[in-house]
Each structure stands twice: as C-alpha cells, then as structure tokens.
C-alpha cells in the first residue's frame, strides 16, 4: 500500500478520487473550519483518508483557540501546527499562543500531532518535550537538531525534494525504519519542490518514484519499505 503522510487537497475532487482509487493511506490536513467541511465532502468515510485539523502558523492571527475547539474535538489527529520564522509575517508571539494551546489540548487527549517547524526547530523541540505525545515532523528540512528530534521518538515524513535537498536527504538516512514516512504535501508543494508543472494524473507516479528513491537510499526493497511505512503511519495514528 502507498502512503502519503501529509497532504493538502486544496479543494481538488480529482486528487481525492485518485487517492481513493489507488487506496493510498493519507493524512489530509485541514487548517480552517471551511477546509474541514470541504474535505469531509471530498473524502469517503473509512480508514484510508484521515483528516487532521489544526491552526497553521501562517493563520495564527486569524483564529482564536475557542473558535476552533469544536473542530479540534472532531479530529483524531491535530495538525499541522507549529511555528515559522521564515515563510510568514505573522508575529511569533501570536503563533506561540495558539500553538501552545493546541499542544496542551492534544497532549491531554492523547491525540497525535503533525508539526510544522520552519526556522523554529529549537523552540518547538523544547515545547514538545514539555507536552509528551506522538509527534510527526512534516517535511523537516534543517540540518539542526535532527538527532535530538529522532532521540525524542518523533516520526518524520520525508519531503518530495529528497534528492534535491541535502538536509532532507541526510535526515532520510538517519530516521529509524519504524518511524519513517513519506509525503507529498499536495500538488502545489510537489510543483514547488520539483520546479515544474504537475497534473493530478502525475500524483501516483510521483509518489511511487518518491518511495523508490527513499528505498534505494535506505538499501531496502520498495515493497518492503511501503509495508513498513503503512504500519508506521497506522501506529502513529492509533498508538
């Protein structure tokens, strides 16, 4: 079975249907109440397309914790949440308030968390150590603190730029096989990472190619790695 450990549908019915057709085990991120409702309409009930919900750091100035609490309660997976000092102008203090609230909520209810860590790797590591839980680090692309996050027991989704980004490649070599996952982050992220136009029809082939590249890097058969990652994702979700 193929997995996509972190994906944004971005309203694409075709992508949702493609994941269903090829039975791809996927965590689909929802970063607003509107996206939660939309993704519920686009996906089938079942155990393959799993919705996560969380206030993304880029939107930390748009929502109060109390306003999104009903959606956090509906979700079995919290995320992606985190901090970002690189790709957004939302003040870190604003990000930090709702990030900590969501971390505490998830820890108290033992809901697994998907993390966005751009430029704030040290701050986030310190915070998650205060809130023990199951954590999945989405597309970690820093050379800093890789071992510290691994030693803390985090899961990692390897980004689609595996063969282009040295930090991602080095991380992919180090993550224990029982905590290793892959992701696409959605079609827009694939285009960004590969620097070319991508169609929905390309999605499955790109995901398979990503799996193969990681399998070769880790010197393991792709079918065996796919089986391991399917189990890893299930364990992350269900504990």
**How is the chain split into domains, by residue range?**
3-238
Q: What average pLDDT does the segment 5-26 reach? A: 97
pLDDT at 46: 75
Specify the CATH architecture of the domain 3-238.
Alpha-Beta Barrel (3.20)
Quote the pLDDT of residue 114.
98
Band (235; pLDDT cuts 50, 70, 90): very high
Residue 149 has pLDDT above 90, yes or no: yes
Spatial neighbors of 58 by CB under 8 A, at least 6 apart, are: 84, 87, 88, 90
Q: How far apart are CA 156 and CA 232, in angstroms?
A: 10
Spatial CA neighbour of 150 closest among 175, 173, 125? 175
Residue range 167-226, pLDDT digits in tens: 999 999 999 999 999 999 999 999 999 999 999 999 999 999 999 999 999 999 999 999
Residues of the binding site: 6, 8, 80, 116, 138, 185
DSSP state of 108: H
- Binding residues for a divalent metal cation are 6, 8, 80, 116, 138, 185
- Tokens linked to 127: 């915070």
Q: How far is CA 31 from each of CA 82, 154, 173, 239, rounded to the nearest angstrom?
A: 12, 22, 30, 23
Helix axes 203-218, 166-174, angle to 10 degrees: 60
Q: Which residues contact 119 (CB under 8 A, 6 or more apart)?
A: 83, 84, 85, 86
Q: What is the pLDDT of residue 111?
A: 98
Stretch (H or E) spanning 82: strand 77-82
How confident is residue 159, by pLDDT bands cut at 50, 70 and 90? very high
pTM across the whole model? 0.96
């Amino acid at each position: 079975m193929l997995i996509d450990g972190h994906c944004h549908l971005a309203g694409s019915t075709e992508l949702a249907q493609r994941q269903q057709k090829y039975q791809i085990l996927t965590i689909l991120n929802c970063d607003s109440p509107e996206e939660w409702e939309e993704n519920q309409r686009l996906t089938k009930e079942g155990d393959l397309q799993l919705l996560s919900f969380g206030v993304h750091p880029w939107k930390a100035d748009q929502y109060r914790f109390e306003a999104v609490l009903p959606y956090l309660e509906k979700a079995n997976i919290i995320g992606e949440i985190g901090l970002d000092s690189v790709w957004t102008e939302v003040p870190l203090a604003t990000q930090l308030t709702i990030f900590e609230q969501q971390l505490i909520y998830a820890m108290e209810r033992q809901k697994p968390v998907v993390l966005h860590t751009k430029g704030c790797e040290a701050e986030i590591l310190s915070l998650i150590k205060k809130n023990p839980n199951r954590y999945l680090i989405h597309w970690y692309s820093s050379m800093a603190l890789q071992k510290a996050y691994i030693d803390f027991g985090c899961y990692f989704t390897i980004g689609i730029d595996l063969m282009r980004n040295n930090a991602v490649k080095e991380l992919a070599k180090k993550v224990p096989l029982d905590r290793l996952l892959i992701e696409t982050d959605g079609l827009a992220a694939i285009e960004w990472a590969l620097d070319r136009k991508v169609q929905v029809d390309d999605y499955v082939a790109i995901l398979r190619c990503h799996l193969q590249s990681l399998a070769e890097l880790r010197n393991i058969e792709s079918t065996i790695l796919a089986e391991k990652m399917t189990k890893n994702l299930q364990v992350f979700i269900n504990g």
